[in-house]
Structure 1
Amino acid sequence: MLYLASQFVWFLLAAFGLGLAMGWIGRDGGKPRLWSAGWSVVAVLWLVGAAASWFQFLNGALATWVETALLFAAVYWLGCACAGLSRRRGAEAPAPSALSALPNETALPGQRPAGLAAPQRGGADDLKLIKGVGRQNEGRLHGLGIWHFEQIAAWSPGNVEWIGGYLAFPGRVEREDWVGQARILAAGGETEFAGRAKAGLVETSRDDGSAGQANVEASAAEAGRAKP
């Protein structure tokens, strides 16, 4: 394949560039996806072709065509993977912002999680895909600057304890495993609950378009009263 690579170097660079572009825009809910069912099929075909080439089951022009296709497919996927990993690294650690303190913030056990003044990547994730986060809780989380699955996925035990106290249901976040659900969703996966919510089968998770704005405003008002 080294000979083929030297012959098609510019075409391979173009394939890599196309992979970068498709990997950058190919996402689920704003999340990079390095693998899918389609890629699994391609991987099986690639391995079959590679085995046939390695054991010389193919000869002549057919072998050349197969090896060329294998090379281009590998380079294209490498481009997709590089773009996906780049997006993932940028999404894993959203920069915290200085949000206003709440009246009872220091009285709650645990530690308030870092929040963002506004959602990143042009829009918030649908937090209602997490079991236990309905429209009201989504709005209250937005009021705390929690907009994305990866923020919840990164919560420490202290953050979970604080959120449970703030939302007035201690222990529920742990029981419903918000953090575990968020990790799956942040990685581009889907939970059984998220699938039902997307299908409109969960009344409290149906998006009314308000993004819990009334609760965001209530949180902002609380923060305003806390200012000296």
Structure 2
Amino acid sequence: MPYLVSFHLGWLVGSLLLGLAMGWISVVQRGNGTSKVTARWLAVLVAGLVAASLTHVVPGRFGYWLDLGLIMFACYLVGCTIGAWLRDRVVSRGAPAA
């Protein structure tokens, strides 16, 4: 894991910045989102991928790609969270008091 972080630091920072931008933009959208059934299936999928990564079920190059993809996905989600939070802070601060 430390090797992945040190060797792919630029890509990880890039995914964090992309997540930051998408989190900033996505607050404006007022869509329906995903259904509860779809959200549960996605959570099960991600949990399965994390479990496969932690138990080293996938060997070799594909296991390396799985680990890297999960780390990049985590950085992206952290960036999305920070971007949405910052957007909320900026929009709520600029709104006039009623």
- TM-score tier, shorter chain, comes to 0.7 to 0.9
Pick the structure with more helix per residue.
2
Give the distance between the partners of 1:28 and 1:67, measured in 2 at CA.
31
Paired residue type of 1:37? T
Of structures 1 and 2, the larger Rg is shown by 1
1:23 match: secondary structure: helix
Q: How many percent of aligned residue pairs carry the same amino acid?
A: 32
Structure 1 residue 42: Cα displacement: 4.7
Measured against aligned partners, the alpha-carbon deviations of 1:77-106 in whole angstroms (never above 9, x if no partner) come to: 11111000111223345233xxxxxxxxxx
1:1-228 mapped onto 2 (5 Å cutoff): 1-26=1-26, 27-29=28-30, 36-37=33-34, 40=39, 42-93=42-93, 94-96=95-97, 114=98
Give the distance between the partners of 2:20 and 2:54, measured in 1 at CA.
28
| 1:9 to 1:16, Cα distance in 2 relative to 1, 3 A | same
Give the distance between the partners of 1:73 and 1:86, measured in 2 at CA.
20
Per the normalisation by structure 2, the TM-score is 0.77
| 1:37 to 1:2, Cα distance in 2 relative to 1, 3 A | farther
Paired residue type of 1:95? P
Unaligned runs of 5+ in 1: 97-113, 115-228
Paired residue type of 2:68? T
Give the distance between the partners of 2:11 and 2:43, measured in 1 at CA.
21
Which segments of structure 1 move beyond 4 Å, counting only runs of 4 or more?
none
1:28 match: secondary structure: coil
Higher RCO by CA contacts (8 Å cutoff, separation 6 or greater): 2
Unaligned runs of 5+ in 2: none
Per the normalisation by structure 1, the TM-score is 0.36
Paired residue type of 1:67? D
| 1:2 to 1:42, Cα distance in 2 relative to 1, 3 A | farther
1:37 match: secondary structure: coil
